[in-house]
Structure 1
């Protein structure tokens, strides 16, 4: 029997075929999960084309900065899934490009607010709306983070602060939702060639460094994050919550 037979997964953050969220969607669907993908209006064509590759996948519009759209998206997902959700995947992050190009010291109030709102607060907003749909049977919520939350990665700037806030939110949500058997975790993926990563200066050079320094002497692939997401979605991870799981070929353990 497929690992996720009968499970229902609501996934935020698919943008194109390189998205980590898309790798996660494929991994979950391959093990029997029914999917609903949330999309931003400007990304509809790309997400719709991808969704067509997984039969039965539904789409809902959602801008995570708009409470009314979040309300409507979770209401619609609940309807599609028959009143419950088992898995919620948060792969949402954004900061204005200027905040990643300028020195961190020049971070603007507006840029800070945007990065924290979209990249961190959105997890809290999603979890709040998912809780009524999960509490009867429990579930798994997980988000994508990055080790810049703990170490300085030049040019990651305010996004690093947002990822630190995201990880702290994971722990507090894990504490509050645990009584309903809802687990909340994060995956800290190594550098991948995604749309978001290409906006960071020096990204290519850093990927080269990882392949030389990481214990496995290589970079990771999107599918490896997808496999970890599958584990967190399944009963195999039923005793794990509030954790950050690194999928980076071991780079995070190194001193340089």
Structure 2
């Protein structure tokens, strides 16, 4: 029971294939209380899939770009628990014009949207929930990342947003460290999620990944990523902050291969 008595807020659940859903499921199995968030047209999907968790849980409306909705969720958790042990930021979005080969064509409105949703919202979550986290002794803020050390095919401005996310995580770790809050990112290998399907041409990266990774990689299995997120939520990593933990079968550690199939 790695997370016994922990109280967690999990964003970004849309389907059972979502990394965030796997995190919520595993966290419940490890003893945590979990509340999910959703918004807009996806709220109904989140509510539906929440019922498939080991223990059905509440879903709160939260558009991470809206301060009023952040305030409302903070107030709900204040009344519900009075404190908070962890927050998962599993939110990313870029307009189609900023993906799939549109790097040079995208204009600032599309780029600004990608940056706000995919990077700045991480800071907004940390700022909003920091008082509740402080009451639990500091707690943990975890975000989902994708390796941004190279320029990936089709990823374009989302890749730049992930680079910005990594910078945000370091500065947030610095500023929340004084209250004991740990801030980390988990850089997952490519998975067949709804978010991945929204990136035109993403399969060029994901299809080759299992052959690059020394440990292999199952693009349909998000549990290895969820396990690391739950470990970061736990009390077993008390001195880890400002870190990017790569969960990708080791692909980041080796050079590209000319092989594309076994």
Range class of TM-score, shorter chain: over 0.9
Shift of 1:18: 1.0
User: 2:241 and 2:9 mapped to 1: Cα distance?
Assistant: 19
What residue is the counterpart of 2:99 in the other structure?
A: 100
CA change 1:202–1:239 in 2 (3 A) is same
What is the count of residue pairs matched by the alignment? 253
Unaligned regions of 5+ residues in structure 2, if any? 257-262
RMSD: 1.3
Shift of 1:225: 0.7
Shift of 1:131: 0.6
What residue is the counterpart of 2:259 in the other structure?
A: none
Shift of 1:201: 2.6
User: 1:217 and 1:62 mapped to 2: Cα distance?
Assistant: 36
TM-score (normalised: structure 2): 0.93
What residue is the counterpart of 2:260 in the other structure?
A: none
Unaligned regions of 5+ residues in structure 1, if any? none
User: Are the aligned partners of 1:34 and 1:56 in contact in 2 as well (CA < 8 Å)?
Assistant: no
User: Are the aligned partners of 1:35 and 1:56 in contact in 2 as well (CA < 8 Å)?
Assistant: no
Shift of 1:38: 0.8
TM-score (normalised: structure 1): 0.95
User: 1:127 and 1:91 mapped to 2: Cα distance?
Assistant: 13
User: Are the aligned partners of 2:8 and 2:34 in contact in 1 as well (CA < 8 Å)?
Assistant: yes
Shift of 1:208: 2.3
Shift of 1:150: 1.3
User: 2:222 and 2:160 mapped to 1: Cα distance?
Assistant: 24
User: 1:78 and 1:212 mapped to 2: Cα distance?
Assistant: 47
* Bigger share in helix: 1
